[in-house]
Amino acid sequence: MSDPSRAREEPLVNPARSDALSTDHEDANAMMATGAGIAAVGLASALIGGAACPVCIVAAPALLGIGAFRKWRARAKVTPTR
């Protein structure tokens, strides 16, 4: 059947910690989606009205950057170092 000399491998990530990491990943995705939405609103206002709101110009890249950084950091926490 199965070889008893083979030890069962332990999971690389603690399941309780995995839930927290998936929450971090979801938060990062939400930030990036919000940044993309604000960028779309800023682009539409620039095309239609000829001017973009200053909040859109500042907030969109900030949210995209912070979301990308948090997503990278959450992925780095999950990646095994073996």
What confidence tier does 75 reach under pLDDT thresholds 50, 70, 90?
Answer: confident
CB atoms within 10 A of CB 72: 11
Residue 53's pLDDT is 86
- Residue 77, pLDDT score: 73
**% residues pLDDT > 70 (the chain):** 68
pLDDT tens digits for range 8-47: 555 555 555 556 667 888 899 999 999 999 999 999 999 9
pLDDT at position 72 over 70 = yes
| Nearest in space to 34 (alpha carbons), one of 77, 70, 10 | 70
Q: Which two tokens stand for residue 27?
A: 């938060």
Which residues 6+ apart lie within 8 Å of 2 measured at CB? none
